[in-house]
A and B are shown apart, each in its own frame.
Chain A
Amino acid sequence: MSIQNLNTFDPFAEGNEEDVQDGLVHIRIQQRNGRKTLTTVQGLSSNYDLKKIVRTCKKEFACNGTVIEHPEYGEVLQLQGDQRENICQFLTKMGLVKQEQLKVHGF
């Protein structure tokens, strides 16, 4: 057994990128003009290639979408239309996010 005190473990080190905001993935909806809406997905782990995810999402849900770099929240998926249900199912089915990590906001 090694002496614990001599180990160089920094308890104040920044956690992994994974547990940004407790690992929760926030799915939000925003209203635009008319009956148009936007769906944003915030908090996906940066280990994943969000561009690839958005590419498949676009095909799957037949909508447009993009990845937005945000200084505070990191990379955020943005999809056109109300894709909350779709994206929840997609993310859990692909095993990217667990069901309990998803947090759906909005009405």
Chain B
Amino acid sequence: MAEEDAIFDPTLVKKKKKKKTTFDLDAALADESSNPVTTTTSSAVENEESTENAGNEIDHDFDLENLGKKKKKKVKKPLNMDELETALQEANEETSAAIDIEGEDGMDDTFDLEKMKKKKKKKADINELLDQENENVDVNNTDQWHGSDRDYTYDELLNRIFEIILEKNPDMAAGRKPKFVMRPPQVLRVGTKKTSFANFTEICKTLHRQQKHLLDFLLAELGTSGSVDGNSQLIIKGRFQPKQIENVLRRYIKEYVTCHTCRSPETILQKDTRLFFLQCESCGSRCSVASIKSGFQAVTGKRSAIRAKNA
């Protein structure tokens, strides 16, 4: 599921984005045309809109389906583009130094950034116009339906709810949640055949997970053996690059740290009747997670040594 999302996300958002801009223009134009004439012509305007944005309706359907996920990003873009962009850039700078935990989110962000930049470059002149018009729309939105009994359009309502949300929760305005940033793993080669994971304990602490659990996962995924030595660093048999360890860590976090429902990293891993359960601190959801299995291990190394051990 998640992977699919990750694959489909960019195009989806892109599509919306493009259509959004055109839509906003249209809407803004429509608003401009309708405002001087007062809102009595609104039904006609709506008709226009509905014909013009026949394609957009599909998008709306989509929105409804995964409202919970996409809502935030989508509405924020038109609202405070500049803020978001600066925030994103900052975030990007941060992430270059440290890994960002939410793999998918990170992807999204980068995509967003690219898109934003592209958009900026392409429509540098149009953008200003658009922004102005957007502002117009925003200003108009709040009092647009005062004194009229026409139906509200979906976008108006969506903008309204998010304006209210932002008003009531000012901390949400600054770039979603506080991002979960952690130090990258320090991976060094020990000799020729072993790898040391120097800040293993530290990472366990930041993730609030037991060393043993992370150790089990790492060893099962890498298909090797290893142990924690006296200096609280992990020694793994085999050669591994920091990038590879990072990948495995990312997968661990996705499965065992972030909440599967709200993706918040504030979770507790509990063991209950031989099963591990992930209890979320922020949304209260509780779900079981896959047990760590190393599965089939092929025979590497000398068979004679194994035979000698068994005999």
Q: Which residues on the A side are within 8 Å of B243 (C-beta)?
A: 107
Q: Which residues on the A side are within 8 Å of B1 (C-beta)?
A: 100
Most chain B C-beta atoms within 10 Å of own C-beta, residue among A28, A29, A73: A28
Say whether A106 contacts B222, CB under 8 Å: yes
Say whether B222 contacts A38, CB under 8 Å: no
Contact code string B1-28 (vs A, CB < 8 Å = 1, else 0): 1001000000000000000000000000
Q: What residue of chain B has the Cβ atom nearest to residue A78's Cβ? A: B298
Q: A31-B238, A31-B239 are in contact. Are A106 and B298 (CB under 8 A)?
A: no
Say whether A38 contacts B238, CB under 8 Å: no
Say whether A30 contacts B298, CB under 8 Å: yes
Q: Is the interface on chain A under 10, 10 to 19, 20 to 34, or 35 or more residues?
A: 20 to 34
Say whether B298 contacts A107, CB under 8 Å: no
Say whether B298 contacts A68, CB under 8 Å: yes
A32 to B244, CA, bound (A): 16
Most chain B C-beta atoms within 10 Å of own C-beta, residue among A28, A30, A68, A107: A107
Question: Does B221 count as interface, using CB distance less than 8 angstroms?
Answer: yes
A68 to B247, CA, bound (A): 29
Query: Smallest distance from the beta carbon of B302 to chain A beta carbons, Å?
Result: 10
Say whether B239 contacts A30, CB under 8 Å: no
Interface residues of A in 2-40 (CB under 8 A from B): 26, 28-33, 35, 38, 40
A44 to B221, CA, bound (A): 19
A78 to B298, CA, bound (A): 8
Say whether A105 contacts B223, CB under 8 Å: yes
Say whether B296 contacts A70, CB under 8 Å: yes
Contact code string B238-282 (vs A, CB < 8 Å = 1, else 0): 111101110110000000000000000000000000000000000
Question: Does A76 count as interface, using CB distance less than 8 angstroms?
Answer: yes
Binding site for B on A (CB under 8 A): 26, 28-33, 35, 38, 40, 42, 68, 70, 73, 76, 78, 100, 105-107
Q: What are 16 A-B interface contacts by the 8 Å CB criterion?
A: A26-B295, A26-B296, A29-B223, A30-B224, A31-B222, A31-B223, A40-B296, A76-B296, A76-B298, A78-B298, A105-B220, A105-B223, A107-B222, A107-B245, A107-B247, A107-B248
